Amino acid sequence: MDLEEVKGVAWNARLKLTEEEMQEFAKDLEDVLSYFSVLDKAPDTGKHDFNPVPISNVLRDDEVARDVDAGSLRDSMDTYQDMVRGPRLT
């Protein structure tokens, strides 16, 4: 894995890495990914379940309920006129 590739992945994950970090991670990831290539040899079951046990049709009724006070949540955040402050969009 070259440094440019690490840089691209880091951007995707919104991580700013120092030069040393990038060098180090490039090597670590290289090691780990080459180990992961063992998966290429595994037979493909074609089953891509997201969970280890089947979970199906667990649904909630469409009812309004509240157990944490919205006001206290709002107070715990950085707000201006009850709107949450966020960074610049550009």
Partner 1 sequence: MSCHLTVEKLVTLNERYHPFSDLTKDLSDLTDYPPKFHFSAKDNICALGFQARAGSKILDGYRPPFDATVVRKMREADGILIGKTNMDEFGFGTFCTNSAFGVPLNPHDVERSCGGSSGGAAAIAALLEKHVSLAESTGGSISCPASFCGVIGFTPTYGRVSRYGLIDYANSLDKIGLIVRAPSDLRRFLPIISGPDKKDPTSCVQPRLELDGFKVKSVAVPEEALRNLDPAVLQAFEAALGKLKEQGIEAHRVSMPSLGFALAAYYVLATSEASTNLARYKGMLFGVRGGHIDQSFNDYFSEVRSANFGKEAKRRVLLGTYTRMVGFRDRYYLKALAVRQLIIKEYQGLMERDDAVLTPTMPFIAPRFTEIAKMKPLEVYQADFLTVPPNLTGMPHISLPCGYHDGMPIGMQFVAPHWEERRLLDVADRWCGEFKIRFPGAIA
Partner 2 sequence: MMIGLEVHVQLPTRSKLFCSCSTSAEEPNSSICPTCLGFPGSRPSLNRRALEMGVEIARFLDCKIPEEVWFSRKTYFYPDLPKNFQITQYDSALGTDGCFIVNDKSIGIWRAHLEEDPGRIKRVGKSGEEVSLIDYNRSGIPLVEIVTAPDLSSPEEARTFLQELLVELRHIIGTTAGDEQSVRVDANISMDGERVEVKNIQGLRNLEKALKFEASRQFKMHEAGMKVVRETRRYDEERKVTMSSREKETEEDYGYIGEPDLGTFSVGAMARSMSTAETPLRRAQRMAGHYALDFGKMRQIVLTSMPLADLFELLAQRVEPEIALAWTLGPISANWSALLSRLDDQVKEDLASIVVLIANREITDSEARRRIGALASGECPSDLSCAVEDGLLDSIISTYIDEHPQVVKDYASNPKSANSVIGHVMKVAKGKYNSQEVVEAVKKEIEKRN
CA separation for the pair 44, 50 (Å, rounded): 15
Tell me how far, at minimum, the Cβ of 50 lies from partner 1, in Å.
Answer: 6
Six token digits for residue 13: 């994950």
Amino acid at 65: A
Residues 41-60 vs partner 1: string with x where CB under 8 A?
A: xxxxxxxxxxxxxxxx-x-x
12 vs 18 by CB, closer to partner 2: 12
Residue 89, helix vs strand vs coil: coil
Q: How far is the CB of 82 from partner 1 (least distance, A)?
A: 14
Asked if 61 is part of the footprint of partner 2 (rule: CB under 8 A), the reply reads yes
What pairs with residue 90 in β-bridges? none
Q: Is 41 near partner 2 (CB under 8 A)?
A: no
